[in-house]
Structure 1
Amino acid sequence: MIKVMIVDDSAVVRSLLSEQLGSEPDIEIVATAPDPLFAQNKLRSVQPDVLIVDVEMPRMDGLTFLRQVMATAPIPTIVFSSLAAAGSATALDALDAGAVAILCKPSAGVGDYLLEQRQQLVQTVRQAAGSTLRAVAPRRVPVAAVAPAPRGLTRTTDKIIAIGTSTGGTQALEYLLTQMPLDCTGMVIVQHMPANFTRLFAERLNSACAIEVREARDGDRVMPGLALIAPGGLHLSVQRSGAQYRVQVQDGPPVSRHKPSVDVLFRSVAKAAGRNALGLIMTGMGDDGARGLRLMHETGATTWAQDEQSCVVFGMPREAIRMGAVEKIYSLEELPARLIEYCAHAH
Structure 2
Amino acid sequence: MTGRPVKVFLVDDSAVVRQVLQALLGSEPDLQVIGSASDPIFALQKMAHDWPDVIVLDIEMPRMDGLTFLRKLMAERPTPVVICSSLAGNGTQTAMQALAAGAVEIITKPTMGLKDFLEDSADQLRAAVRAAARSRPRALQVARLQAGTAAPVPGSGAMAQTTERIVAIGASTGGTQAIERVLTALPRVAPGIVIVQHMPERFTASLAERLNQLCAIEVREARNDDRVLPGLALIAPGGRHMQLRRSGAHYQVQVLDGPPVNRHRPSVDVLFRSVARNAGRNALGVILTGMGDDGARGLREMMDAGANTIAQDEASCVVFGMPKEAIRLGAARSVLALDEIPRALLQGGG
Q: TM-score, normalised by structure 2?
A: 0.88
Matched, 1:46 2:42: no
1:131-190 per-residue CA deviation (whole Å, 9 max, x = no partner) reads 2333252653337459xxxxxx99643221101123333233233223333332211011
Aligned to 1:76: 80
1:76-127 per-residue CA deviation (whole Å, 9 max, x = no partner) reads 1110111101111100000011000111111111122123322222222222
Aligned to 2:192: 186
Aligned ranges 1:214-225 → 2 under 5 Å: 214-225=220-231
- CA deviation after TM superposition for structure 1 residue 66, in Å: 1.3
Matched, 1:231 2:244: no
Matches of 1:246 and 1:79 in 2, distance apart?
36
Tell me the secondary structure at the aligned position of residue 258 of structure 2: coil
Aligned length: 337
Tell me the secondary structure at the aligned position of residue 30 of structure 1: strand
Deviates more, 1:111-120 or 1:137-146: 137-146
RMSD: 2.3
Aligned to 1:196: 202
Deviates more, 1:135-144 or 1:184-193: 135-144
Aligned to 2:127: 123
Aligned to 2:95: 91
1:4-41 per-residue CA deviation (whole Å, 9 max, x = no partner) reads 21110000111111222222332222211111112112
Picking from 210, 224, 247, the partner of 2:253 is 247
Q: TM-score, normalised by structure 1?
A: 0.89
Matches of 1:218 and 1:13 in 2, distance apart?
42
Picking from 279, 282, 285, the partner of 1:276 is 282
Matches of 2:259 and 2:7 in 1, distance apart?
32
Deviates more, 1:168-177 or 1:3-12: 168-177
Which amino acid is the alignment partner of residue 87 of structure 1? G
Which amino acid is the alignment partner of residue 267 of structure 1? R
Quick check: 1:79–1:102 contact (8 Å CA) kept in 2?
yes
Please identify runs of 4+ aligned residues in structure 1 that moved more than 6 A.
none
Matches of 1:116 and 1:239 in 2, distance apart?
41
Picking from 318, 322, 337, the partner of 2:343 is 337
- Aligned-pair identity in percent equals 59
Matched, 1:171 2:177: yes
Which amino acid is the alignment partner of residue 311 of structure 1? C
Matched, 1:37 2:53: no
Aligned ranges 1:7-156 → 2 under 5 Å: 7-137=11-141, 139-142=143-146, 144-145=148-149, 156=162
Q: Indicate how the Cα distance of structure 1 residues 78 and 281 shifts in structure 2: closer, same or farther if over 3 A, else same.
A: same
Tell me the secondary structure at the aligned position of residue 169 of structure 2: strand
Matches of 2:143 and 2:232 in 1, distance apart?
23
Point out which structure has higher relative CO (alpha carbons under 8 A, 6+ apart).
1
Unaligned runs of 5+ in 2: 151-158
Deviates more, 1:159-168 or 1:129-138: 129-138
Tell me the secondary structure at the aligned position of residue 174 of structure 1: helix
Q: Indicate how the Cα distance of structure 1 residues 123 and 251 shifts in structure 2: closer, same or farther if over 3 A, else same.
A: farther
Tell me the secondary structure at the aligned position of residue 336 of structure 1: helix
Quick check: 2:71–2:140 contact (8 Å CA) kept in 1?
no
